[in-house]
Amino acid sequence: MNTLPPMYFKNRLYYVLLAAAGLVVLTGLYAVYMMEHHGHIITGMNNQIMWGIPHVFAIFLIVAASGVLNVASIGSVFGKAAYKARAPLAGLLSIAMLAGGLAVLMLDLGRPDRIIVAATNYNITSVFAWNVVLYSGMFSLVLIYLWTMMERRMNPWSKAAGFAVFVWRFVLTTGTGLIFAFLTARQAYGSAMLAPMFIVLSFAWGLAVFMLAQTAIYAWNEKLLDPAIQQRMKNLLAIFVLGSLYMVATYHLTNSYFAHQSGFEQFILFEGEIYPNLFWWGYVCFGSLLPLLLLYFPGISKGISISVAALLVILGGFALLYVFIIGGQAYPLNIFSGYTVNSSFGDGQISSYSPSLYEFLLGFGGLSIAFIITASGARMLSFMPIDKPCTSD
């Protein structure tokens, strides 16, 4: 019996995956149409919880898009050859996730056409307006950075472009944290801890995404990653996960120190039903401690267990953002300390939220956009990391 060449099956699987991702994007656009036509009443969002599941997907993609560039920065700015070989792939992933995250963010507004108003009437006092510049600046700088790496005659400018991206991604992630830190109408936010916390979280989430993408590309090309490089990246991911745990713990301990925040901390960590479960089980146990066990325990941290650890870090990131974004909106603002406030507008009441199918379709549509850009770019251009036989760094 005749058999088809292996490459045929690979190509067929590639197009099947690409078509499946395209179908998910179409369902996301259908969700946008329904939300545009009927309004956000068909979602689980309401007057108290205005940022739902789509924002969880969008913020994760944007923060991870910044963090994945850490791989490129280690190579270009700090001169580590093993990471410099991975800088093009890191740049591709950054552009892909930023595009997917911003697509979800814009299409969740209900009136995405209003972006024209924001662009032509710039409000310099708004942190949201700042982020318009930060996101567009990141796109431009990463594209220039990729150009300097992939065009031989532009190679001398690669280090300067890498340093510019290194600085800009810190500013961008700080801006994302400040979106929440400058909000005074929610009890959970308004903390100076949020900017550095988002920066450290981006390191862990970005590296986890990079490691999964790298594993998939190596497997697709039937190549094996150098064990020394795998060990190095595994250790780095573990450090970032520990750093993320530290920053999240510091954020909650800081809140607990202030009397006016004790009610919120009690709610989010112990009494808020789904929120404590997602925080302790989703983020702390399965999203942090279990990955650390897989990464550090002798005899376990080999092969597929490292990919499983990276996937758990990503899922833990989604759990943490759900608690932070939605739980932070669900808890009522303490308007008058020591007094109970009630009104027909829901003041003083804990809000409920049940995400609808349309919200999930929009969120997964953003993930699919990121997948399509990454898969297409990796296939058409040379983004495969090429390691030298020996590295001395």
Where exactly are the structural domains of the chain?
18-182+356-373, 187-333
pLDDT tens sequence across 219-238:
887 788 888 888 889 999 99
Structure tokens belonging to residue 243: 């750093």
| Whole-number pLDDT of residue 349 | 76
DSSP state for residue 333 in the 8-state scheme: P
What's CA 83's distance to the chain center, in Å? 21
Q: How does the average pLDDT of the chain come out, rounded?
A: 86
- What integer is the mean pLDDT of 1-18? 64
Please tell me which residue, 353 or 85, carries the higher pLDDT value: 353
- Concatenated DSSP letters of 78-110: T--HHHHTTHHHHHHHHHHHHHHHHHHHHHTTS
Inform me whether the pLDDT recorded for 1 exceeds 90: no
CA-to-CA dists, residue 167 to 1, 64, 176, 182, 252, angstroms: 59, 16, 15, 22, 28
- What integer is the mean pLDDT of 129-142? 87
| Whole-number pLDDT of residue 390 | 41
Please tell me which residue, 57 or 349, carries the higher pLDDT value: 57
Percent of the chain whose predicted confidence (pLDDT) is above 90: 46
| Whole-number pLDDT of residue 393 | 42
- What integer is the mean pLDDT of 284-301? 86
- What integer is the mean pLDDT of 288-308? 83
